[in-house]
Amino acid sequence: MAYVAVKGGEAAIAAAHAWLAEERRGDPAIPALSVDQIAQQLGRAVDRVMAEGSLYDPDLAARAIQQAQGDLIEAAFLLRAYRTTLPRLIDTDPVATEAMQPRRRISAIFKDMPGGQRLGATTDYTHRLLDFALPDAPPPAREVEAEPANMPRVTDMLGAEALIEPDEQADTAPGDLTMEPLAFPAARDLRLQALARGDEGFMLALGYSTQRGYGNSHPFVGELRVGEVAVSIAPPELGFTIEIGDITVTECQMVNQFGGSKISPPQFTRGYGLCFGHADRRAIAMALVDRAMRAAELGEDVKAPAQDAEFVLAHCDNIEATGFVEHLKLPHHVDFQSELETIRAMRRDANAGL
């Protein structure tokens, strides 16, 4: 009877999951992907999943990508749901990105600077022609012994002349939005945390909107650097700092024109982006949005979406967003039934009134 058919059931769920497992594997005649292959050859996907999944672990991210059939938001979700069960043992010290020996370090505001420009492995100047013969084993890239160079932050050089606002020094430990619910107005530490794991597409669109007049801040990429930084902890029982490993990060220091306000002289202002892995787009977009959200603090009018911190922060998390958007496919027939009754009654009233 129809009544039974519209209700779900355990058998239907089990069958759906079995079908999913079969579909995930694809044609069994074709060799299965290995986690190593994903980690090694789909590095940008792994980086994005680590950033949005808020957990630095390339192996787990690769596993999640495989399990999610390449759906990167689903993969980030798998990682988050795993991360949340892990014990929090200790906070690390802040990573020292100025001490990084970058694989890539470019500045758009100076032709050259101490330490020089380094392109690193980038697609920036490739011609986007589909390569129908991508070699299995490309010839090795030429290797040159790198001179260990001092690579001061470009923004610090501007700071020496007081042309750019000083970096804020926080007196208190940064907040943790995974342990405390976000409250508004949110301070910059929490805003940056939210952006660091925010949806890349959402931040890209918001950053882009600031360039098109919706909260323009005249941005320049002061510096973009990619490389490994040491992660250190200082266990209280030891009383000294120990390095526990390296992570790859991308950092963007945005330099923005600022005409001055009642409270600040004309000077350059900062937008900041930092994320796991090699992710230029993500770091640049994050820096644009960070700067846009500082509008109120700098005495600028808050008019554009990217400047509305509550709007940005409440909607940048794609795990939250995809859940609520997709939950619309869950059954809603009880609510819909009450709507049916209401609209019938309203139509009755309207017809009676004619």
Partner 1 sequence: MQGYNFAYLDEQTKRMIRRAILKAVAIPGHQIPFASREMPLPYGWGTGGIQVTAAVIGADDVLKVIDQGADDTTNAVSIRGFFARTAGVRTTTKTEEASLIQTRHRIPETPLRADQIIIYQVPMPEPLYKLEPGKAKARRRHALAEYGEMHVKLYEDITRFGRVAVAYDHPVMVNERYLMSPSPIPAYDNPKMHRMAALQLFGAGREKRIYAVPPYTSVRSLDFEDHPFNPGRAAQNCALCGSGESYLDEIIIDDQGGRMFACSDTDYCESRRGGGLCGGGLRGGGRRG
Binding positions for partner 1, rule: CB under 8 A? 1-3, 6-10, 12-13, 77, 80-81, 83-85, 87, 178-185, 310, 314, 319-320, 322-327, 330-335, 337-342, 345-346, 349-350, 353
The CB-of-100 to partner 1 minimum distance in angstroms stands at: 30
Q: How far is CA 191 from CA 155, 314, 353, in A?
A: 21, 10, 54
The CB-of-8 to partner 1 minimum distance in angstroms stands at: 3
Query: Which is closer to partner 1, CB of 267 or CB of 322?
Result: 322
Query: Which is closer to partner 1, CB of 190 or CB of 288?
Result: 190
Query: Which is closer to partner 1, CB of 44 or CB of 188?
Result: 188
The CB-of-228 to partner 1 minimum distance in angstroms stands at: 28
- Pairing label, strands 242-256, 219-233: antiparallel
Instruction: Return the structure tokens found at 289.
Output: 């949005």
Query: Which is closer to partner 1, CB of 76 or CB of 252?
Result: 76
Query: Which is closer to partner 1, CB of 55 or CB of 62?
Result: 55
Q: Report the distance separating Cα 206 and Cα 212, nearest Å.
A: 10
Query: Which is closer to partner 1, CB of 95 or CB of 319?
Result: 319
Cis peptide before 185 (omega within 30 of 0): yes
Query: Which is closer to partner 1, CB of 127 or CB of 329?
Result: 329
Q: Report the distance separating Cα 123 and Cα 143, nearest Å.
A: 19
How buried is 205 (Cβ within 10 angstroms: 0-12 exposed, 13-18 middle, 19+ buried)?
A: middle
The CB-of-124 to partner 1 minimum distance in angstroms stands at: 35
| Beta pairing partners, 147 | none
The CB-of-176 to partner 1 minimum distance in angstroms stands at: 8
The CB-of-209 to partner 1 minimum distance in angstroms stands at: 19
Write a three-state SS string for 245-260.
EEEEEEEEEEEECCCC
Cβ–Cβ contacts within 10 Å for residue 280, how many?
Answer: 20
Query: Which is closer to partner 1, CB of 13 or CB of 121?
Result: 13
How buried is 113 (Cβ within 10 angstroms: 0-12 exposed, 13-18 middle, 19+ buried)?
A: middle
| Dihedral angle over CA of 203, 206, 207, 208, nearest 10 | 120
The CB-of-101 to partner 1 minimum distance in angstroms stands at: 34
**Strand, coil or helix: what is 164?**
strand
The CB-of-64 to partner 1 minimum distance in angstroms stands at: 12
| Dihedral angle over CA of 143, 144, 148, 152, nearest 10 | -80
Query: Which is closer to partner 1, CB of 80 or CB of 104?
Result: 80
Instruction: Return the structure tokens found at 223.
Output: 């510096």
The CB-of-197 to partner 1 minimum distance in angstroms stands at: 11
121 contact partners, CB below 8 Å, separation of at least 6: 103, 104, 278
